[in-house]
Amino acid sequence: MRLGVLLTLTLLLALPALAEPPRRIVSANLCADRLVLELAERDRVRAVGPFAADPAVSTVAAAAQGLPVTEGRVEQILAFHPDLVVLGTFNDPATGMLLERLGVPVYRVGAPQSLDGVRAEIRRLAAALGETARGEAMVARLEAGLAALPRLERPVVAAVYQAGGWSAGRGTLADELFGRVGLVNLAAATGRSGIAPLPLETLVAGRPELIVIESMGEEAPSLSGELLRHPVLAGRGLRRVTVPMRLWACPDPALAAAAALVAEAAR
């Protein structure tokens, strides 16, 4: 009987420890860095990915300054003795699996393709970090940004066009954000879903008024980037807007700023 009481007390005393939020967080992916540094106190973050402090792609560059950097290798991560590792879609899947086999908790940030998915992703990570209130505040910031988006007075045909001729069709965040401001997504209108190739001939035939380019270094000379400078895209009353990668790369409130930038260019 005494042994049973002792075991029960031991379990009860252990419960608060189990409910403690992680204190030694290692983030090894740009989107993970951005979310973690907004949702958790900086002193709980032991390391971030190599791009977290780069203002060209990161919305948390100032907070990331001075933090140790990991390239996502297992031995690097383990050196920080993490109690939570946050990975993303571009991390090697084997990294997360090996860490879990070694007993390290792993959270994987997804790549949602809808605003509902973005909200859910923010809340899910916030809960894992023990920061539900901060998660709700981040969702509220996203909602405020979306509510402030202008609505075009007439439909404007537009297309996302990336190096190599890739575009964003139906079922993508770009498509949903286009709809929010009154843009007609040419890729979706021509039957494309997800991230899909959009031939230059199809693009021209669709007579878009606006091309949206996500800045990911395609400005530098490259074979895939040459398509964006094709002579057929010059003139013709075609406008372009370049959306910095930091606004359109991750499931966070910066998406509303990306949509506002595109809407302004379409006016």
DSSP string, 189-228: HTT-BSEEE--HHHHHHT--SEEEEEESSTTSS-TTGGGG
- Amino acid residing at 104: V
Average pLDDT, the chain: 88
Q: Please, which residues bridge with residue 167 across strands?
A: 196
Q: Please, which residues bridge with residue 166 across strands?
A: 162, 197
pLDDT for residue 155 is more than 70: yes
Q: What does the pLDDT look like over 36-70, one tens digit per residue?
A: 999 999 999 999 999 999 998 999 999 999 999 99
**What is the average per-residue pLDDT within 126-136?**
97
Confidence band (pLDDT; 50, 70, 90) for 164? confident
Which of 118, 145, 172 is the endpoint of a domain? 145
7 assigned to some structural domain = no
pLDDT score recorded for residue 163? 77
pLDDT score recorded for residue 218? 44
6 assigned to some structural domain = no
Dihedral of alpha carbons 244, 53, 97, 82, sign: negative
8 A C-beta contact, residue 131 and residue 147: no
More confident residue, 179 or 229: 179
pLDDT score recorded for residue 216? 56
More confident residue, 216 or 11: 216
pLDDT score recorded for residue 178? 96
State which residues form the domain around 108: 19-145
59 assigned to some structural domain = yes
What CATH number is given to the structural domain containing 56?
3.40.50.1980
pLDDT for residue 10 is more than 60: no
Helices (H), 113-163: 115-128, 132-147
Q: How many domains does the chain have?
A: 2
pLDDT score recorded for residue 126? 98
Whether residue 224 sits in one domain with residue 198: yes
Which of 124, 145, 166 is the endpoint of a domain? 145
The Cβ of residue 151 has, within 10 Å, a number of other Cβ atoms equal to: 8
d(Cα 193, Cα 212) in Å, to the nearest integer? 17
pLDDT for residue 111 is more than 70: yes
